[in-house]
Amino acid sequence: MLSRSRWLCWNLGAIQLGNSPVGKTRAQGQPVPLSAPPPAGKRLSQKPRGSGAGARGSPPPAAFCRPAFLQLTPEELRRADDHTGRAVQSPRDGRRRLPWSTGYAEVINAGKSQHNEDQACCEVVFVEQRPSPRGWLSSREGSGEKGFYFHYWALFDGHAGSGAAVMASERLHLHICEQLRELVEILQDPSPPPICLPHDTQAGSADPNQMSNAEDRGEVLNDAVPRFHLEKAVSHESLVIGAIENAFKHMDEQIERERASQHLPGGCCALAAIYLMGKFYVANAGDSRAIIIRNGEIIPMSREFTPETERQRLQFLALLRPELLGKEFTHLEFPRRIQPKELGKKMLYRDQNMNGWAYKKIEEDDLKFPLIFGEGKKARMMATIGVTRGLGDHDLKVFSSNIHIKPFLSCFPEVRVYDLTQYEHCPDDVLVLGTDGLWDVTNDKEVAGVVMEVLTSYEPNDPCRYTMVAQELVVRSRGVLKERGWRLANDKLGSGDDISVFVIPLGGPGNYT
């Protein structure tokens, strides 16, 4: 996603921006060894995630790995890794491999990076209540397992190496599980979540009948009833959102901790859909996108986080922490780079408070490179990166400088909620997740058109139909190889990026189980 084409070619005075050495010299595609113990949680419908080229324990350097659910043979893996053929990959037995008959398809880029830097994951995860330190629960519930399942689909669009994307695709759902373990009892209780929990207990393990002292007992028994002059009600849904947000943070921290020992270069955008207790939680950090198509209507389930959409947050941080700019950047935005000879003239600018533009007299400080620069897909932060949220990138610096990008990148997702129970869905209603390779050339309306067109050509109870949609979306965005490169049906350039798509039926056979 942040390929060489995403790096700005520009002479930046002392910084000497150019094609990034990060993208060129770092080993790419190295899968993450599983030596570090994963957080607690159970994965269902899961086989050891393999590269297809061998076990993951001691992978060869720069091994190429694809999602385990694809179950690629060595020969298929070679085909998937072929930039010239760009064969579309889908689960071989889509009928059984993915829950809810989910459709999935992917294709490698046209040569912008050595391997496909997208990764994907689809799991059903059991969240088991954490054992109480005082053993309350075992005495209360006997030896029965207490918990719930969530369904999980996620896409990771890697850049500057695939280590972060691979690790995130293997671990993010486990971090979500870990956060939810604290909440098992609370989420299963229809009464409002308690504001405060007693000493030494974990969220979800507060059993008033087992309290050791009166104060704790009083606290928990009554806490759902507001006793304070001002007390905010917090919903169960807010707790799940908070759990997902903190799971992203912990995932990012794990990548930071293990990046040296596990060789985790680069970073990745992350888009995850979690189905839990009747609701979809769609969490997005980066420029992937999710939409629901329901009865032909498009419902956006995410927004993209780029230097343009997050300009004011980034400028605000730069204004308050100018030392992060290393004397090389200005927090102001200008429509183009200023020439030294233009000193004293008036130029259009905008700062962190403005959405409009105004003229200002150019001063010495304005000759620095703007923090945000460029438009659309070419917009960059610090002339380096085209997305502003995601996981990893802890070592990413402005080229030939000691200026770190990370303080400006946020690992926190925006989480949107869709209540599946509020509407009776038919088998043609779907949630589509796609990396930017899809959306760069195919807009929401076109995607909805393809979805409807393909679905009507299959029986409503045919579980293959969602895979067919995913494949068609990928093929139409990739295009066909002609003399002048990959071309769409309208002869425009197809996407040269990695493309990955999930098509999740909202009312198909076997859902909600």
Sign of the Cα torsion 102, 167, 386, 118 reads: negative
Phi, psi values for residue 490, rounded to 5° = -85, 10
- Strand 369-370 relative to strand 329-330, pairing: parallel
Which segment (80-88, 339-347, 425-433, 496-504) binds its own copies by CB under 8 A?
A: 339-347
Q: Which is nearer to its own copies, 116 or 205 (CB)?
A: 205
Selected binder of its own copies within 63, 277, 347, 464 (CB under 8 A) = 347
Site string for its own copies, 151-180 (x = CB under 8 A): ----------------------------x-
Q: Report, in Å, the least distance between residue 9 CB and its own copies.
A: 8
- Which three-class secondary structure state does DSSP give residue 157? strand
Nearer to its own copies, 14 or 196 (CB): 196
* Residue 353 within binding range of its own copies, rule CB under 8 A: yes
State the Cα angle at 141 between 136 and 147, rounded to 5°: 100
Number of residues that bind its own copies (CB under 8 A): 67
Q: Are 149 and 275 in contact (CB under 8 A)?
A: no
Cβ distance to its own copies smaller for residue 362 or 391? 362
Distances (CA, A) of 204 to 22, 116, 181, 220, 247: 44, 41, 8, 11, 17
Residue among 85, 300, 335, 510 that touches its own copies (CB under 8 A): 335
Q: To the nearest whole angstrom, how small is the minimum distance from the Cβ of residue 246 to its own copies?
A: 5
In angstroms, the CA 339 to CA 207 distance is: 68
Among 341, 484, 492, 513, binds its own copies (CB under 8 A): 341
d(CA 119, CA 450): 23
Please choose, from the candidates 176, 119, 120, the residue with its C-alpha nearest in 3D space to the C-alpha of residue 149: 176
Side-chain half-sphere CA neighbours of 343 within 13 A: 7
- Footprint of its own copies on 33-72 (CB under 8 A): none
Distance CA 37, CA 171 (A): 10
Binds its own copies by CB under 8 A, chosen from 24, 47, 345, 482: 345
Are the C-beta atoms of residues 61 and 29 closer than 8 Å to each other? no
DSSP letter for each residue of 312-359: HHHHHHHHH-GGGGTTTEESSB-SSPPPGGGTTSEEEEB-TT-SS-EE
Q: Which of 24, 95, 327, 336 binds its own copies (CB under 8 A)?
A: 336
Q: Which is nearer to its own copies, 168 or 285 (CB)?
A: 285
Q: In this complex, which beta carbon is closest to its own copies, that of residue 61 or of residue 344? A: 344
What is the rounded distance in angstroms from the CA atom of residue 163 to the CA atom of residue 161? 6
Question: Whose Cβ is closer to its own copies: residue 93's or residue 231's?
Answer: 231
> Which of residues 82, 93, 141, 215 is near its own copies by CB under 8 A?
215
10 vs 486, beta carbon nearer its own copies? 10
DSSP codes joined into one string, 11-22: --GGG---S-HH
**Which residue lies nearer to its own copies by CB, 234 or 260?**
234
Residues 228-247 that bind its own copies (CB under 8 A): 228-234, 237-246
Cross-strand partners of 392: 267
Q: Which of 37, 61, 190, 356 binds its own copies (CB under 8 A)?
A: 356
Q: Which is nearer to its own copies, 62 or 233 (CB)?
A: 233
Nearest CA among 501, 503, 495, 498 for reference residue 434: 501
Q: Which stretch binds its own copies (CB under 8 A): 89-97, 143-151, 201-209, 472-480?
A: 201-209
Residues near 214 by beta carbon (within 8 Å), at least 6 away in sequence: none
Q: How far is the CB of 308 from its own copies (least distance, A)?
A: 10
Nearer to its own copies, 263 or 360 (CB): 360
Residue pair 107/88 in contact (Cβ under 8 Å)? The answer is yes
Structure tokens at 318: 């730069």
The minimum distance between CB 173 and its own copies, in angstroms, equals 17
How far, in Å, CA of 265 to CA of 30, rounded?
A: 9
Question: 292 to 321, contacts with its own copies by CB under 8 A?
Answer: 313, 316-317, 320-321
For its own copies, the closer of residues 161 and 286 by Cβ is 286
Binding part of the chain for its own copies, among 131-139, 252-260, 335-343, 423-431 by CB under 8 A, reads: 335-343
Binding window for its own copies (CB under 8 A); candidates: 23-31, 167-175, 189-197, 294-302: 189-197
Q: Which of 143, 145, 196, 489 binds its own copies (CB under 8 A)?
A: 196
In sequence order, the 6+-apart residues with CB closer than 8 A to the CB of 341 are none
**Backbone phi and psi for residue 122, each to the nearest 5 degrees, phi listed first:** -140, 120
Residue showing tokens 């207990």: 201
In the complex, minimum distance from the CB of residue 399 to its own copies, in angstroms, rounded to a whole number: 17
**Residue numbers at the binding site for its own copies (CB under 8 A):** 10, 179, 182, 193, 195-203, 215, 219, 226, 228-234, 237-246, 249, 313, 316-317, 320-321, 335-338, 341-342, 344-348, 350, 353-359, 362, 373-375, 378, 410, 412, 414-415
